[in-house]
Amino acid sequence: MDLRSDPVLERIAGTVRDGLGAAGAGPDGSATLAALADLDGFAFAASMELGGFDLGLSCGVTIAVELGRRALPDVYTGGMLVADALAEAADDAPGADVAAAVVAGKQVVVAAGLDRATVGDAAPAEPSPGGWRLPEVLTVDDVYPDAAVCTAFRTGDGEVLLAVLPATLWRPLARPAFPWSGHAPSPAAVAPGEIPSGQVIGSLGAGRPLTDPAGLLARHRVRQAGYLLGLGLGAHALAVAHAAGRRQFDRYVLDNQAVAFPLAKAKIDLEAARLLVHRAAWLADAGGPFAREAAEALAWTAEVTLRTVRTSVQVHGARGLTVAAPVHRFFEVVRPAATRLGPPGALWRESALRRLAEYHTAVAERQS
């Protein structure tokens, strides 16, 4: 195990960072989409069959980190879920047109339903003549005007399917939750209505934990963990910069251990998150099992980032609660991002089941 940084990924990270730095970050994600598309950012990690460069999940994570670092709208991970599901699909396969548009940087996809369907407590969809009807509304991030939705839903026999819904097949129901701000993508409820069977693009399997035969869920979890990691790093950097430049009681705020130590602890937790996230991505790219590692990377990063953002807002004082302080946007974005693929508690329970099974299997093998 040699954990020195990969220079190729470092260069990609720097390129994406610079490109996104020039993008104005609006709540609808248009500028972010344009900036990432200009870099061919959507092609880096996509399969060659879809016109991508096939640089792997590690590369996808790197891009997600850079989006999160600036609390930019997540215009990336939902599209990559579709691209993964259709990585080897024929041109006329359901959703293949959406996947191709994603890779070309012309289509934003937001993921929905994964928080309920993947942790086992979602009500099953009702079969209908043309496909399925969901029993409840979905919540998505309102990041782009004409976004498609990639939704997960549970069928009556316990299988979890993925379907892609173009903008014509869903409609928003709710207003943004942070109307006072306008600086961050906000959750919106959507009613998908009927899910035509022709829009189904893949399966996440069945059971508890989900079998996830193609690793679609695990890969999506790792990218989401990357986005969260970026959020944590970005908020932390803002807090350090603020505390290092602001003077109170005739000294810099950062010179107080009561301020510096929580930031140091956050730095340590984020470094652990960085390694957990990149390990899961590396295992995926190496073709090994990585379901547990993906779940843990996401759960760890969600909890650490939520704590880090809280600390970072606190370090800013009252001004951190105003829209004038950039850290406020991290506060808004992290909440839906931390649970979009299920609450961390559910992920930890899934991880525990896998760990206990692995442990007792290994013991039994040694004894035999």
Q: Which of residues 295-354 bind another protein (CB under 8 A)?
A: 295-296, 299-300, 326, 329, 345, 347-353
Nearer to another protein, 80 or 263 (CB): 263
306 and 334 Cβ atoms separated by less than 8 Å: yes
Total residues interacting with another protein, rule: CB under 8 A: 72
Decide if residue 67 touches another protein (CB under 8 A). no
37 touches another protein by CB under 8 A: no
Member of 110, 143, 254, 313 binding another protein (CB under 8 A): 254
Identified binder of another protein from the candidate list 71, 82, 101, 216, rule CB under 8 A? 71
- Torsions phi, psi for 247 (to 5 deg): -110, 135
The SS3 call for residue 47 is coil
| Residue nearer to another protein on the CB measure, 49 or 332 | 332
Shortest approach of another protein to residue 250 CB, angstroms? 19
- CB closer to another protein, 116 vs 279: 279
> CA-to-CA distance for 59 and 73, rounded, in angstroms?
19
Identify which of residues 36 and 229 has a Cβ nearer to another protein in the complex.
229
Q: Does 245 bind another protein (CB under 8 A)?
A: no
C-alpha span between 269 and 276 (Å, rounded): 11
At 69, list the tokens: 């670092």
Q: Is 76 in the site for another protein (CB under 8 A)?
A: no
Nearest CA-CA partner of 225 in 170, 166, 289, 305 = 305
Q: Does 133 bind another protein (CB under 8 A)?
A: no
Tokens 């996808």, located at residue: 60
Residue window 264-293: x/- pattern of binding to another protein, with contact defined by CB under 8 A? xx-xx-xxxxxxxxxx--xx--x------x
Residue 34 binds to another protein (criterion: CB under 8 A): no
Q: Which residues contact 19 (CB under 8 A, 6 or more apart)?
A: 35, 36, 38, 39, 41
Which tokens in the block code for residue 85?
A: 């599901």
The three-class DSSP label of residue 329 is: helix
